[in-house]
Structure 1
Amino acid sequence: MRTLALAFIAFLAQVTPALCWWQYAEWGLSASQIAAASGGRATPCRPDAPACARPPGGVAPSHFVDGITMVGMPASAAFAFDAEDRLIQTVVFFPGAAPDLVEKLIQGVHGKPLDEQASPRVWRDARRGSDITALPVNGGMILLYRPTSGR
């Protein structure tokens, strides 16, 4: 039982982007800086890339990286920039992921959502200055990262 609990805690710790290469994708970086941080893996979005779809209430990403692993699951990350070429949004798409599982993993790392009655639920990552919204989408689940308002 103890081994199972330790494995679950290790699994939960991986839900944060801090363990992914794109931990360096700080708010305000340019597309070329994101490409450099990804080791050249960030490429322009394609219409067939699910991570590149405009998320509900968000901005259409312009660059993405396919084939990453987050929380032990396959994922893709996509990035949107403002008119001055500054990073303003990151989307992580988990194909086939169950909404309940993703929400439990986020809660394990970031605690309770800002408003438990709200739909969709939003969590705050104060350390990175990000608000994280979990959204079910066609074919899976996304985590929508945006800078915390008022930054």
Structure 2
Amino acid sequence: MNPAILGTYQGVSCELVVSEDGVSITRTQDGVNIALTVLGGDSMGTLFLPYHQITAIDFKPYKFPFDGYILFHALGLPDIVGARNCFNFGDKKMNADYERIADEIRRHVHSFSCNDRQPLKASVADELTKLKDLLDAGVLTQEEFAQQKKRLLSS
């Protein structure tokens, strides 16, 4: 990791900490950490993402009236601006700095070889649920569903 970008950055109701191990996003209110649960069960406290779990990073510069953001994608997290895996900022003067930070983090994430990444396997139950959805949608026939189900259950 480039030591020049390590540190803490203040955003709009959030704080981004870039460390050697990963990034942390903390939701704040008037500078105070908030750890509350909102509708849908999304925890709004601190989220830590190790670099090896980040799958992609989106950067959008600030352009009045919309905040800029760095959105960190990872399995199991929403791809929604404003979610707990999103760092929002509201200062146009910081666009270049935050874009550089996003690029450095992106480079660091991509520097992990495929061997360093730990593959995340879907559970058999998750796969069966997907197959059932395909059956219900008419994509699979009952016979195809039964074959795939048998294959999953025997592995």
TM bracket (short chain): under 0.3
> If you compute each CA radius of gyration, which structure gives the higher value, 1 or 2?
2
Higher helix share: 2
Higher strand share: 1
TM-score of the superposed pair, with normalisation by structure 1: 0.25
TM-score of the superposed pair, with normalisation by structure 2: 0.25
